[in-house]
Every structure is written in structure tokens, then in C-alpha cells.
Structure 1
Amino acid sequence: MMPVRHTQLRSFHMVAKFGSFSKAADELNITQPTITAQIRELESQYNVRLFYRQRNNNRLTETGQQLYQQTLIMFSLEQRAKQLLQSNGALRSGKLHLGAVSPGAVMPLVDAFNTHYPGIDITIHTGGSEHIKNGVLNGELDMGMLAYREPNPDLVSLEITQQPVVLAVPNSHPLSRRRAIPIAALEDVPLVHREVGSTTRKIIEDALQVQRISPKCILEVNSREGVREASIYGIGISYVGQHEFQPHPNISLVHLNDLDTLSKSYLIYSKELENLPMIQAIIAILASIKASHTAAITV
């Protein structure tokens, strides 16, 4: 039996990724008949079916799903090898894929990196903590930002920043006229929660539990944008790390003057990539930013 050709696996991988033969062909800069023929050869060669072919949605069969998991690893390793070779230069060109659960937390780092290395194209991928962590582990992301320290032995975690949790209060609510309130003021107040597992939610819930405060938890939304929109519409009071608060004419920022627990952000990356010049450059920039903040505080 003939060995599997790299071009066959590449074509399969792209169709599986995009769910479209035409999009895969555009991505690989080859014709659609070519990519179709390569996948048919692969199926015929091993007497398997990889796709349920439909006009607008080519779904993977069970065999196709299993093969796609393998090609994800294969092309991730290939990309890492390419990145290793490219990174031996002076970082004059290349790409940085950065995952972030909170884009606002990494913007100072991104801004400083772009200033030092303007030739590097930066893409920020947003998502939940688990999605970001897995992206770093499988090589789809170079680095990631999480709201908690990741104990995974294959990852390194560095603290980026820390900030208090603040409230986004609808201007229709009496508390919007206060600059700061105690946690006890949230008794019987309509509260909009983040999803279970959110670090900021745990901080708020722990503080409420300690003081035996019972707000009216009327809504749960699994995104920062969603809880903000709920407050904008006057549904209830939401909460967020202070650097993530986005002003709007319908909401006011209100501090919790007796909440000492801070929300923290961590930069994670794979231990095996630690010596890459791009990773080292970001680590150095992060250290410089933190040193500048420390100097500003002590002046």
C-alpha cells in the first residue's frame, strides 16, 4: 500500500477545518478539483469515508474526526518547527498568536511588543480559559492570558496584572450615584452573574458569603460583553475587573470599598517553547512593564 502523502493530509486537514472544499482550496492556493481528487485518493487508498458530502456543509465521519485529531497534532508540530527556524532571526517578521480571556488585560503588553517589533503580525484570539489553555497546549496559540494561575506541568504562568473588581451599575439604580459602597449594600439588589467558573464571580460570591449577603441573582451571562449589556438595559448590576470596565452613558462605575481580593491575570506559554526568541522578548517586555509600574508607585 502506498504511503499517505503530505499533500493529501494537508488537503483533508483544511477541508475538515473550514467544512468547505472551496475555502480549503483558496487557503492552499490550489484548485478545488485538485483538493477533491487528493481526498478521494486518500479515501480510496484506505477504503474509508472521511466526509459526509453536502453542498454547504461537509461533515466529518467518525473516521474523519479521528484523523482530524491526528492532523491537528501533526500540523501543529510542523508549525512549531517552522516557528523555531523563523525565530532564530532578529524578530523582523513573523506572527504571534495570542489568546486572551480579557483582551484589555494584554493590550499594554501588545502595545509594547508592537513598538519593539513592528514587523511581527499579532492576532488576538478570545475565548474561555479552557479554550485558551488548550490552544497553548496544542500549539495553535503561542501564548495565552488566563484569569487564574494554571497548574499544568507543561505550562509556565507569569502574573501580568492585578486589579479590583468593580460594579457596573445601571444609572436608573440609586447606587449609581455612589462612588463606592460596602458589599453589604448589595443585599436584595438585582445582580447579573458571570458563568460558573468565572474568577470574578468567585471573588464576588466568596465576599457575599463571608458577610452573609443575599443579592437577587436574576441573570447569568457567560461573557463580559453580555453582563455589561444587561446592566446597560437596566436589568441588574454586573461586575468586572476594573481594567475591563467599558464606560457607557447608561451605566456607572462603582467601587466596593471593603473588597480586598484582587482579580489577577496570568500569561501562560509552553515550557518547551520557553527559549524561543519571541517568547523571551515578551517575557522581557512584561518584566519591563511591571518594573515601570513599581517605580511609578514608589515615586
Structure 2
Amino acid sequence: MNLEQLRGFVEIAQTKHFTRAADRLHVAQPSLSRQIATLEADLGVELLHRARGHVALTEAGERLLPIARRMLADADTARDEMSDLSGLRRGRIRLGATPTLCTSLVADVLAEFRDRYPGIDIEIRERGSRSLIAALMAGELDLALIVTSVSSGAARAVLEREPILSERLVVVSDPTRPDPFDRTGDGGSAAGARVAAPVELDELARVPQVVFPENYDLRVTVDAAFRARGLTPLVAVEGAEMDAALSFAGRGIGVAVVPAMVAADHPSLRTAPLADAALARTVSIARRSDMAPTRAGAALQAVIREIADRVTAPGAELSSLVTRVG
């Protein structure tokens, strides 16, 4: 059994097709077929059900797949470790982050990291926190920036989690219209106001909202807060992704609850913090504790911490809404 055979097996499992897998690996299809046949002979089991135009994993194939992915990831780590000897002049780092962090914190981190280490290639995976945790456990990522706690026992045993920021949630709306949270009975804040007064949860529940899909960590947090208060929010649009939600809020379709760092990147919107300071999310660096970080990974972690310090420094734009933890 060798890495080329495992790489071919993993590619076939992903594409479910020998020819497409061979094309992606830049090998001849007969050569790939021989590799898999040799692998099956070495292991003494059938790994793939072969049908005309379609391939499926056998039970043995299903059990081998996560092992093969880990072995390939370990091989990549070994290559990256050797490249460290060149003093970070070359190498690769695989970073995962949630979509909201990719548009805020991660952009600043990558700009700083590329300035310092232009020879290090960076691969980004943009997913929800739970998907990123699964990718870390499978050895498919070196680091991830997540915004949820590690809940499963298996994850807790394997992952190291370092909280770095606590970020308040804010409400964004169209500043060309009167403040939707009319506290005075005369139409609220004037149109054009960029920053509005803090919003109570019961006030938010009475105003039409643009809400995210149910599997969004942010949606889960806000829904739990409403349930705890016995409130039922008024929904204008449901299932919008972040860019769409911001656009809809800017057109006055409804307000949207977003992280403070995301709102800061959209100065054309009116922003109002949620009055309850507990309605915040914790941003953490996560990595596998059973794998020592490469020098490139350690350097990226250091840059993330520096950017976190910069965002939360006294006098910084977001220092009242984003605080350093850890």
C-alpha cells in the first residue's frame, strides 16, 4: 500500500468515477485501475462496487476512506515540516473559517501574513463551524477560526481550542429610513443616522427581520435568546446568506442581526448594538492537539493573535463591541 494508491482511492470516492478521478490526478485511467486493483489485493478486500458509469464504496471502502484521508494529510504535514527548514520561504497552510469571519477578521489576517511570508501558499475553506471541526478531525485543515464550542466528546479529546475574541451582535438597517425601533412615538431616530441606540430583545422581536438559515451558528444563538424570553420574532425573509441579508437590510426589507466586525465593513448601514451584552459570540482558533503545528501554522496563529490585539486595542473603532479574550 502506497500514497499514490491511497490518493487514487480517495479521488475515486469523491468523484464516484474512474475516468474523472484519473483526469483530476493527471494519470491514465488504466493505470489508476491497476493501482486500485493492487491496493485491493494487498488489503485482501474489495473497496469499490463497480457498475457501468458509476462507482460506490463497499463497507471496507467506507472504513478505509477516513484512514486514507488522515494518512494523506499526515504525508502533506511531513512535506510541510521539511519545507520549514527553508525558513518559511515556501510551504503551505490550510485555514478554515466561517463565512462571516472570512469577510472581516480573516481578510486582515491574510493581508498581514502574505506581507510577511509571501512564499507560503494559503488554502482557505469557508464553512460553518461544525463542518470546520469535522475537517480538522479528518486532518483536512491545519487551523480553523470557529465561533461555536466543541461539543462532542471525540472533538474535545482531539481538538485544542484557544478563544481569542468576544464579539457583540448588532442590528443593521437602512439609514435612509427612520429608525425602525421607534422609542419616542414620533418616528424614532432621523433618517441618515449611522449609529442608533442599543436595542432590547423584545423591541427586536416586533420588527420585521431578515434571518439566516436554521443551521447558521448566529441564527441558533439569536433563536435561543428569543425562546428564553418567550418571544416570537417577526420574520420578513428567512434563509438568506450573509451578503443577501446585508443587501436586504440596506433596502429596508427588514433588519438583520450580524456580528459587529461584519457591520463595521458596511458603513452605509445603520448599526445598533443589542442591549444584552451576553448576546455575543466567541471566536476561537482550533487545531488538532495530537499534531504539532508546523512553523507556518505557528506563524499564522501568531498573526491571528496580533490582529485580535489590534482590533480590540483602546481607541480602536470596534473596541466597545469586540473584546480580547484568552
- TM class by smaller structure: 0.7 to 0.9
Aligned length: 293
**Could you tell me which of 277, 282, 290 is aligned with 1:260?**
277
**Counterpart in 1 of 2:130?**
130
SS at match of 1:118: coil
Cα offset, 1:210, TM superposition = 6.5
Tell me the residue number matched to 1:236: 254
State the distance in 2 between where 1:25 and 1:35 align.
6
Change (3 A) 1:164 1:18: same
CA distance in 1 between counterparts of 2:169 and 2:45 reads: 57
Q: Give the AA of the match of 2:8.
A: S
Deviations 1:153-201 (A, max 9, x none): 4322233433332223357975364532422432432223334464433
Cα distance change on mapping 1:60 and 1:232 into 2, 3 Å: farther
* Residue pairs, 1:13-52, within 5 angstroms: 13-43=10-40, 46=44, 48=46, 50-52=48-50
Number of the residue aligned with 1:167: 171
Supply the AA of the counterpart residue of 2:102. P
Which 10-residue stretch deviates more, 16-25 or 36-45?
Answer: 36-45
Distance 1:140 1:238 in 2: 33
- The match for 1:72 is 69
Cross-structure match for 2:305: 287
Residue of structure 2 in register with 1:120 after alignment:
120
Give the equivalent residue in structure 2 for 1:273.
291
Give the Cα–Cα distance (whole angstroms) in 1 for the partners of residues 301 and 45 of structure 2: 49
Answer whether contact 2:174 2:270 (CA < 8 A) is retained: no
Provide TM-score, normalisation by structure 2.
Answer: 0.74
Which amino acid in the other structure matches residue 162 of structure 2? L
Q: What's the secondary structure of 1:272's corresponding residue?
A: coil
Alpha-carbon distance in 2 for matches of 1:270, 1:163: 24
1:81 aligns with 2:83: no
- When residues 128 and 295 of structure 1 are mapped into structure 2, their CA distance, relative to the original with a 3 A threshold, is closer
Comparing 287-296 with 265-274, which one deviates more in the overlay?
287-296
1:7–1:146 CA distance, 2 compared to 1 (3 A): closer
Deviations 1:69-122 (A, max 9, x none): 331222222222222222343111111111011312322222211111110111
Name stretches of at least 5 consecutive residues in structure 1 with no aligned partner. Answer: none
Contact 1:199/1:263 (CA < 8 Å) preserved in 2? Answer: no
Equivalent AA in structure 2 for residue 239 of structure 1: V
Distance in structure 2 (CA, Å) of the matches to 1:294 and 1:234 = 31
Q: TM-score, normalised by structure 1?
A: 0.80
Corresponding residue for residue 180 of structure 1: 196
Distance 2:93 2:267 in 1: 32
The one-letter code matched in structure 1 to 2:23 is: D
Q: Indicate if the aligned counterparts of 1:52 and 1:61 stay in contact, CA closer than 8 A.
A: no
Query: Could you list the per-position Cα deviations for residues 111-165 of structure 1 after superposition, in whole angstroms to 9, with x for gaps in the alignment?
Result: 2111111101112101111110121122100100111343624322233433332
> Identity across aligned pairs (percent)?
23
Q: How far 1:204 moved relative to its partner?
A: 3.2
Q: Which residue of 1 aligns with 2:160?
A: 156
Change (3 A) 1:87 1:18: farther
Range with bigger deviation, 130-139 or 212-221: 212-221
Corresponding residue for residue 321 of structure 2 = none
Corresponding letter in the other structure for 2:127: G
Provide the C-alpha distance between the structure 2 equivalents of 1:93 and 1:61, rounded to a whole number of angstroms: 39
Higher mean C-alpha displacement, 205-214 vs 269-278: 205-214
Asked whether the 8 Å contact 2:129–2:217 carries over to 1, the reply is no
Report whether the alignment pairs 1:91 with 2:88. Answer: yes
Structure 1 residue matching 2:300: 3-state secondary structure: helix
Instruction: Tell me which residue corresponds to 2:102.
Output: 103
| Deviating more after overlay: 28-37 vs 80-89 | 80-89
CA distance in 1, matches of 2:30, 2:257: 53
- 1:224 counterpart letter in structure 2: M
Contact 2:210 2:240 in 1 (8 A): no
Q: Is the 8 A contact 1:232 1:248 kept in 2?
A: no
* More moved, 221-230 vs 134-143: 221-230
Residue identity opposite 2:196 in structure 1: A
Question: Residues 273 and 279 of structure 1 are in contact (CA less than 8 Å); yes or no, is this contact kept in structure 2?
Answer: no
- Of 126-135 and 234-243, deviating more is 234-243
